[in-house]
Amino acid sequence: MWLLLTATGLRRGEALGLTWSDIDLSTGQLRVRRNLQRIKRELLFGTPKTTRSLRTVSLPKRCMWTP
């Protein structure tokens, strides 16, 4: 996760909100559609604060694993 955060500039909550359906290894892209937030001791999935935060990010080769 640390490599993903530093290589792509994602925020911690955005990275924790990712699911496998958000990641496309064939195109090398991931979609930021939700984030994980802690609100009053509860972990909740939510949408990012701004519409600019909803985005597609290109994955660097060092973040992609291919068999």
Domain ranges within the chain, ordered by starting residue: 2-59
- By the 10 Å C-beta count (0-12 exposed, 13-18 middle, 19+ buried), 13 is classed as middle
pLDDT at 48: 86
pTM greater than 0.85 (yes/no):
no
What's the start-to-end Cα distance of the chain, in Å? Answer: 19
* Regions of the chain where pLDDT drops below 50: none
pLDDT at 67: 61
pLDDT at 66: 64
